[in-house]
Amino acid sequence: MSVLAAPLLLEAAGYVLVAAALIQAGLGTWTLWQRSVAEQRAAAAAAEHFARRADLILRRAEVQRDRTVLSWNGWRKFVVARKIPECEGTHSFDLVPHDGRPIAPFLPGQYLTFQIRRPGDDRPLVRCYSLSDGPYRPDVYRVTIKTVPPPPGSDVPPGRSSSWFNQVVEPGDILDVRAPSGQFGLDPHQETGVVMIAGGIGVTPMISMVNTLSATGTPRSTWLFYGVHNRSQHAFAEHLAELRRTVPWITIVTFYSRPTPSCVAGRDYDHVGLITLDRLKATLPSNTFEFFVCGPPPMMEAMTRDLRAWGVPEERIHFEAFGPATVRRQGGGETGAPAAVGGGHEVVFSRSGKTVHWPDRCTSLLELAESNGIAIDSGCRAGNCGTCAVAIKEGTIDYLTAPGEPPATGTCLTCIATPASRLVLDT
């Protein structure tokens, strides 16, 4: 038994004892005192509740143990088993381990990290993609990838990794993959209601969550608010329509910001426009849910700000950035203080021989380095993959958001770090 699982097993044992005591008390009382049927029913319901809690906790302990035992370090080879079109410029990829050995379970919401070696590139690309199915397929991981278009009005090529996946990768190809990780995860063994708010391809972790919750078969109040441009961008449309028809405790509300004449209200989408707090308030019975938010930066910023204003406690607002981190965790600096913004501190890049001052417009040390011609390898640019780690020779940093992949002691993830004092970096 792993150290992690021990406290959970103790908690579960407690629930089992309480359930047993309640059953015994209920039966004994019935025999001896002929108590009312209502009292017996109440005792039975309480016993069932405690037994269910114990079962959930035992299952959570099993999953934690398997995650620890079956995870791996570094890169592991996976074969693309299937490539499935989802919507315009977007495919899902089923991946099976090349070594045929079991894969590690994951929390719905977590992601895989890929090392991509395209012919002609002088160095590999590192990118993260969220797992887009529940963890109940014992030998397959699925990710879903949307080609990132060039910025409007520019003539640069589309995103390198995303277009390579969608245009070049085919079944039979072999990919280098790191074990599932990330802190944006839903605990399927809790009973609190869940609200997911997804924009565009930010729906992928939510699909993993919603599939997990429907597969457990245990009713848990669940809401998915999903915003896209129109039907052509609506990934998983048929699958979500099926869930809507068949799982009564899951409510799916779809928003199209730019419906075309062929989009049908009531069939394809429910509302025109963006997901707003007013719409959440009008739809949800209260704000006492766990909230999960993933989408484009403006949506993330607006939603997390509005949820806080609505009185949702910080610990119940979970968010994932697919690109540069723009939302700050309140009170989330490395020191627990509110995240700093650099404060004009001097930053020395010792190997490059450059000293600069932190300018107001900069968002991260990575951006500061790049804008001064200093190359630092990067992958996710959101504190998740560890690629941009650099040793700190002197000084302290703050993080804009907590690292998904904690870096080695004495180093920092430059893509989400800002200086908290004069800083000397080993690059």
Ligand X SMILES: Cc1cc2nc3c(=O)[nH]c(=O)nc-3n(C[C@H](O)[C@H](O)[C@H](O)COP(=O)(O)OP(=O)(O)OC[C@H]3O[C@@H](n4cnc5c(N)ncnc54)[C@H](O)[C@@H]3O)c2cc1C
Return the C-alpha torsion angle 367, 369, 373, 377, nearest 10. -80
Which residue lies nearer to ligand FES by CB, 227 or 386? 386
Instruction: Give me 69's structure tokens.
Output: 């035992």
With contacts defined by CB under 6 A, name the span among 57-65, 170-178, 263-271, 378-386 that binds ligand X.
Answer: 378-386
Q: Which residues bind ligand FES (CB under 6 A)?
A: 378-381, 383-388, 413, 415
For ligand X (CB under 6 A), the number of binding residues is 29
389 binds ligand X (CB under 6 A): no
Which residue lies nearer to ligand X by CB, 387 or 418? 387
Which residue lies nearer to ligand X by CB, 44 or 116? 116
Which residue lies nearer to ligand X by CB, 211 or 384? 384
With contacts defined by CB under 6 A, name the span among 99-107, 242-250, 352-360, 380-388 that binds ligand X.
Answer: 380-388
For the bound state, the minimum distance from the C-beta of residue 322 to ligand X, rounded and expressed in Å, comes to 4
Pick one of 3, 32, 156, 282: the residue that binds ligand X (CB under 6 A): 156
Which residue lies nearer to ligand FES by CB, 22 or 300? 300
Which residue lies nearer to ligand X by CB, 8 or 113? 113
269 binds ligand X (CB under 6 A): no
For the bound state, the minimum distance from the C-beta of residue 416 to ligand FES, rounded and expressed in Å, comes to 7
- Specify whether the backbone of 273 is left (phi greater than 0), alpha (psi in -120 to 50) or beta: left
Q: Count the neighbouring beta carbons within 10 Å of the beta carbon of residue 81.
A: 15
Which of ligand FES, ligand X, none is residue 322 near (CB under 5 to 8 Å by kind)? ligand X
> Which of 396, 359, 354 is CA-nearest to residue 375?
354
86, 235 in Cβ contact below 8 A? yes
- The 8-class DSSP code of residue 157 comes to P
Beta strands 423-425 and 346-349, pairing class: parallel
Q: What is the largest CA-CA distance in the chain?
A: 87
CB under 8 Å, gap of 24 or more: what pairs does 402-406 form? Answer: 402/183, 402/329, 402/332, 404/181, 404/182, 404/183, 404/184, 405/181
Which residue lies nearer to ligand FES by CB, 237 or 388? 388
- The 8-class DSSP code of residue 172 comes to T
Instruction: Give me 259's structure tokens.
Output: 């419906």
Which residue reads 């109940």 in tokens? Answer: 136
Which of ligand FES, ligand X, none is residue 145 near (CB under 5 to 8 Å by kind)? ligand X
With contacts defined by CB under 6 A, name the span among 73-81, 155-163, 270-278, 299-307 that binds ligand X.
Answer: 155-163
292 binds ligand X (CB under 6 A): no
Which residue lies nearer to ligand FES by CB, 161 or 378? 378
211 binds ligand X (CB under 6 A): no
303 binds ligand X (CB under 6 A): no
Q: Per CB under 6 A, which of residues 170..199 are in contact with ligand X?
A: 182
> Which of 220, 160, 232 is CA-nearest to residue 194?
220
75, 177 in Cβ contact below 8 A? yes
Which residue lies nearer to ligand FES by CB, 108 or 379? 379
Strands (E), 98-237: 111-116, 125-130, 141-146, 174-181, 194-199, 222-228
Q: Per CB under 6 A, which of residues 308..367 are in contact with ligand X?
A: 320, 322-323
380 binds ligand X (CB under 6 A): yes
Closest residue to ligand X, based on beta-carbon distance: 159
Q: Measured between alpha carbons, how far is residue 129 from residues 26, 114, 359, 374 in Å?
A: 51, 8, 32, 27
Please, where are the H alpha helices in 151-276?
A: 160-167, 204-216, 237-246
Which of ligand X, ligand FES, none is residue 144 near (CB under 5 to 8 Å by kind)? ligand X
Which residue lies nearer to ligand FES by CB, 56 or 390? 390
For the bound state, the minimum distance from the C-beta of residue 234 to ligand FES, rounded and expressed in Å, comes to 29
- What is the rounded distance in angstroms from the CA atom of residue 404 to the CA atom of residue 388? 13
For the bound state, the minimum distance from the C-beta of residue 386 to ligand FES, rounded and expressed in Å, comes to 5
> CA torsion sign, 311 to 312 to 314 to 317?
negative
Residues forming the site for ligand X (CB under 6 A): 111, 125, 127-130, 143-146, 148, 150-151, 156-162, 182, 201, 204, 320, 322-323, 380, 382, 384
